Amino acid sequence: MHFIDEAWIVIEAGKGGNGCLSFSSLIYGADGGNGGNGGNIFCIGDKYLNTLLHFNYKKFYKAENGRNGKAQKKNGIKGKDLFITVPVGTSLRDAQTWEIIGEISKHSQKIKIAKGGNSGIGNFKKNLSKIRKGTFGECRKLYIELKLIADVGLLGLPNAGKSTLIRSVTSALPKIASYPFTTLRPYLGLVKLNKKYSFIIADVPGIFVGTALDESLGLKFIKHFNRIKIILNLIDVMGNDFIEVTLGMIREIKKIYIDIFKIPRWLILNKLDRIPKFKKKQLIENVSKGLVWRNKKNLFFISAKNLYGCYELMKSAFIYLKRGKNG
């Protein structure tokens, strides 16, 4: 399945039904009923959806119109409301005014995105000489944006081992291979430390330094990090000039999303099992100096493939998240 994280659609709520102009007789007088209100349009959260792909195939959504009023004091039936399903984590904006309409943050949450037209008034109650027509429902172009909801995000270059790590510690199954760009869409996985404690981790495509901003998959999806509480910056210690390349990646990110560096970032040195023991100490010193990394409490050494250090990393992340939730 393709991952689509933004879409534009046109929505139109139902028109209100017209009131009825009717006189049954001179004795009983006016008996025209009111029209029915037009149907509203709602967005509703669905935890089983993880993409906006379905909006590629349908671009126009219209709710049902209200029925017209009838003689003998019969009111028109209200138009049926229309419910549009979206993934949890979806934000909704008016595409013309850019006004934020709302944000779907949980399953089955509903947000009204277009109000149905008001019903027309018949002459039964008001004794009008002419009917009052129902009003049109709201019509707008809607911008829909999906942002993943996760606690921890993996940041790194292609082939740094992010997919291997998320596959090792969760049940998510991203592609894994020895070439860049095997991750072509974000993945979410549930990290279960035991039956009681768990959190969600996200893997986005790797960021390729030197790629144009509109072509780099990782830069396209970097906006999903704005809800993440910890960033795990994964570094392949076997890569050539990995310190300079990592600094280049950071520069690329700052061009489009400098706020990402307000989020706590931990440095994770991956594939450490391939480094001889006598070289590890010197490697750690070189990394700390080259990346100006002073906080050694947030410096971890792992082998995602062999699970070395992975449980300790996930446990540390959970303790940090739990401390944050408890204030």
pLDDT tens sequence across 167-192? 888 865 444 333 333 344 667 777 88
Q: Is 74 helix (H, G, I), strand (E, B) or coil?
A: strand
- Give CA–CA dist 81/61, Å, rounded: 11
Closest by CA position to 272, among listed 233, 241, 242, 305: 305
Q: 266-294: buried (b, 16+ CB within 10 Å) or exposed (e) per residue? A: bbbbbbbeebeeeeeeeebeebeeebebe
Of 45-54, 115-124, 171-180, which gets the smallest average pLDDT? 171-180
Torsion of CA 121, 124, 126, 128, to 10 degrees: 80
Closest CA to 40 of 115, 94, 110: 115
Burial of 68 (0-12, 13-18, 19+ CB in 10 A): buried
- Res 254: pLDDT: 73
Across 93-97, 162-166, 209-213, 304-308, the highest mean pLDDT is recorded for 93-97
Helical ranges in 71-154 per DSSP H: 123-126
All domains of the chain, ordered by start, with CATH?
6-146 (2.70.210.12), 152-325 (3.40.50.300)
Q: Which of 1-5, 158-162, 165-169, 200-204 is predicted with the least confidence, judged by mean pLDDT?
A: 1-5
Tokens of 150: 């996760």
pLDDT tens column, 290-318: 877 767 678 888 888 888 888 899 999 99
Q: Beta partners for 82? A: 41
Distance from C-alpha of 189 to C-alpha of 262, rounded to nearest angstrom: 24
Helices (H), the chain: 123-126, 162-169, 217-221, 242-256, 277-290, 310-325
Per-state percent for the chain, helix, strand, coil, to nearest 5: 25, 25, 50
| SS3 assignment, position 223 | helix
Asked whether residue 84 carries a pLDDT value surpassing 90, the answer given is yes
pLDDT at 153 over 90: no
Q: In which residue are the tokens 């901003």 written?
A: 213
pLDDT at 215: 45
Per-residue pLDDT tens digits for 221-272 = 566 676 788 989 888 888 778 888 788 777 777 776 667 778 888 988 888 7
